[in-house]
């Protein structure tokens, strides 16, 4: 079976689908294969299954194996091994793998404090009420080593800070060559309450060589008199929709 895969100009995702109508006729009914634009799961397919996904980065480039993700194999042993090796990395303050590379003059960094209302350990980055300039930064670099042939899929910070335009948290990923990786949802604004946010990492962007370090960078932009709290950082490696 040969499937023609487009070479789109812009980043596009496709799903390879096999469908079959189960009828009792001589010779049976042929399986039909199709390439559907978008990310589908088995729940979206009638009389068929998903065989895999293609995340094409665009630019009219030819199809590469690295763009293709095969569907999950639901054999018990294989599935259990896959789940075990793709367990997310959950970091709770005090973070043990970070280094701060920039700290504003009026910034106060509290590595660990306890939220007595929500019974939650968190770190706090706060700016002085009379800070000059008004908005100051703390840049936090968290190092992860690539292993098991996996790359980060999602970064999920659990945060609490004020809903103002000038205070935000920017999440970036730098690969094992320390090149910036494309993410979606990387600039997080506050809501005034504890909220879970999802930053999606583009699966065709960047290089993640086995055994080498890459960086998840958190840039805290804090207006005067305000703060950013982080209660958890979850790095997910599950590569399937």
What's the pLDDT tens digit per position in 91-123?
999 999 999 999 999 999 999 999 999 999 999
Domain residue extents for the chain: 12-76, 89-236
How large is the average pLDDT for residues 177-192?
Answer: 97
Mean confidence (pLDDT) of the chain? 92
Contact 204, 66 (CB under 8 A): yes
Q: pLDDT value at position 48? A: 87
Q: Residue 200: its pLDDT value, please?
A: 96
Alpha carbons 227 and 223: distance in angstroms, whole number: 8
Mean pLDDT of all residues in 180-189:
97
d(CA 182, CA 200): 9
Question: Which of the two residues, 174 and 54, has the higher pLDDT score?
Answer: 174
Q: Which two tokens stand for residue 153?
A: 């899929």
Q: How confident is the model at residue 1 (pLDDT cuts 50, 70, 90)?
A: low
Predicted local distance difference test score (pLDDT) of residue 27:
64
Q: Is the pLDDT of residue 24 over 80?
A: no
Closest CA to 126 of 115, 117, 137, 116: 137
State the pLDDT at residue 47: 85
pLDDT of residue 57: 87
- Lowest mean pLDDT of 33-47, 86-100, 152-166, 179-193, name the range: 33-47
Q: Which fold has domain 89-236?
A: Jelly Rolls (2.60.120)
201 pLDDT more than 90: yes
Pairwise pLDDT comparison (103 vs 80), residue with the higher score: 103
- Per-residue pLDDT at 125: 98
pLDDT score for 43: 86
Number of Cα atoms under 13 Å in the Cβ half of residue 208: 24
């Amino acid at each position: 079976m040969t499937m023609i895969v487009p070479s789109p100009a812009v980043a596009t995702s496709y799903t390879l689908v096999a469908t079959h109508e189960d009828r009792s006729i001589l010779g049976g009914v042929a399986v039909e294969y199709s390439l559907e634009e978008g990310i589908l799961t088995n729940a979206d397919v009638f009389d068929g299954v998903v065989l895999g996904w293609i995340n094409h980065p665009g630019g009219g480039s030819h199809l590469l194996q690295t763009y293709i993700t095969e569907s999950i194999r639901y054999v018990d042993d294989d599935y259990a091994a896959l789940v075990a090796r793709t367990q997310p990395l959950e970091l709770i303050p005090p973070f043990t793998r970070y280094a701060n590379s920039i700290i504003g003059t009026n910034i106060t960094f509290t590595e660990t404090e306890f939220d007595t209302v929500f019974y939650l350990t968190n770190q706090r980055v706060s700016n002085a009420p009379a800070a000059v300039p008004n908005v100051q930064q703390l840049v936090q670099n968290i190092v992860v080593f690539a292993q098991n042939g996996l790359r980060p899929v999602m970064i999920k910070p659990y945060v609490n800070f004020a809903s103002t335009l000038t205070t935000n948290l920017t999440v970036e990923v730098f690969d094992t060559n320390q090149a910036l990786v494309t993410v979606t949802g990387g600039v997080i604004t506050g809501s005034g309450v504890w909220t879970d946010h999802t930053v999606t990492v583009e699966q065709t962007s960047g290089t993640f060589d086995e055994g080498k370090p890459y960086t998840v960078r958190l840039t805290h932009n804090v207006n005067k008199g305000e703060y950013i709290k982080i209660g958890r950082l979850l790095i997910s490696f599950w590569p399937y929709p």
